Amino acid sequence: MAKLIGCIGTSHIPAIGGAIHKGLQQDPYWKPFFDGFPPVREWLGRVKPDVVVMFYNDHGLNFFLDKMPTFAVGAAAQYNNADEGWGIPTLPPFKGEPDLSWQIINTLVEKEFDIVTCQEMLVDHACTLPLKLLWPEGECPVTVVPICINTVQFPLPKASRVYAMGKAVGEAIAAWDSSKTVAVIGSGGLSHQLDGERAGHINKVFDLQFMESLLTNPEWATQFSIHELVEKTGTQGVELLMWLAMRAALTTGTGAGVRKVHSNYHIPISNTATGLLALEKID
């Protein structure tokens, strides 16, 4: 059976792509953000995942309002990035892992999650930037299964539902008939709001409590409604749902415990409170 080794939650602000492109990692503005990553890369270098399952939210590259799935699972052999309209460099295609995609799809539908499946799927900065941050040099060494959760159009899926879906994905990975090693990524957040008179809203107290909860009490955030999460974390802060799905994926199989590899939290990058959290699954 496949081995699920742990998870990494990270923010995915588009401007990060520009900063990488311009080599600004040690610039005073960017350094507190980028300096979070070397300890996580070192851990990944040791545990060497073959495959990454990526919970992320599309920002209007692949999906438009004509068809807006709540949960969409990628089932492609390759995922292409493309122009998102604001000038960040387009990254080379990523390799998929169709066998795991279908293992996840079959498991989710069996467990009554009525998902959308995508044999073609453009992936935006939310999917490409975490890979570039975790594996900055050369070709990306992992294959990817992207799972998109709608945070564009309300109603969004409830936090408790996202948690249950993430848990089912974890069960699918654990039951995958493969010798491969799998990590899970949650890409989004943390607190931020781009739109309205409340633009610039950030909630450090909530963010830190949320990050702590993922270590000790992973279901903590499921007590909140989407409306409450928006009120606390902002209209885009609700992307923390990706982290919740990611963490839930680690609560199954042999040994539901985790240990913290590393965490980082920095305000601001662009308009966003940035978080980074790597957890290793303990058998």
Q: Which residues bind other proteins (CB under 8 A)?
A: 15, 59-61, 64-66, 82-87, 152-155, 193-202, 204, 227, 230-231, 235-236, 266-268, 270-271, 273
User: 227 an active-site residue?
Assistant: no
Give just the sign of the alpha carbon dihedral 53, 11, 80, 70: positive
Nearest CA to 261 out of 25, 41, 76, 56 is that of 41
**Apex CA 51: angle with CA 111 and CA 189, to 5°?**
75
Shorter beta-carbon distance to other proteins: residue 118 or 202:
202
Active-site pick, 59, 125, 262, 266: 125
Shorter beta-carbon distance to other proteins: residue 138 or 205:
205
Residue type, 49: P
Nearest approach in angstroms of CB 197 to other proteins is 3
3-state secondary structure at position 72: strand
Active-site pick, 12, 21, 59, 192: 192
Taking each continuous run of H as one helix and of E as one strand, the counts in the chain are 9, 10
Shorter beta-carbon distance to other proteins: residue 6 or 189:
189
Pairing outcome for strands 181-187 and 3-10: parallel
Shorter beta-carbon distance to other proteins: residue 89 or 200:
200
Nearest approach in angstroms of CB 133 to other proteins is 19
Q: Element (H or E) spanning 55, and its range?
A: strand 51-56
Two tokens, residue 38? 């070397």
Shorter beta-carbon distance to other proteins: residue 21 or 64:
64
C-alpha 190/C-alpha 208 separation (Å) is 10
Strand partners, 38: none
- Known catalytic residues are 125, 192
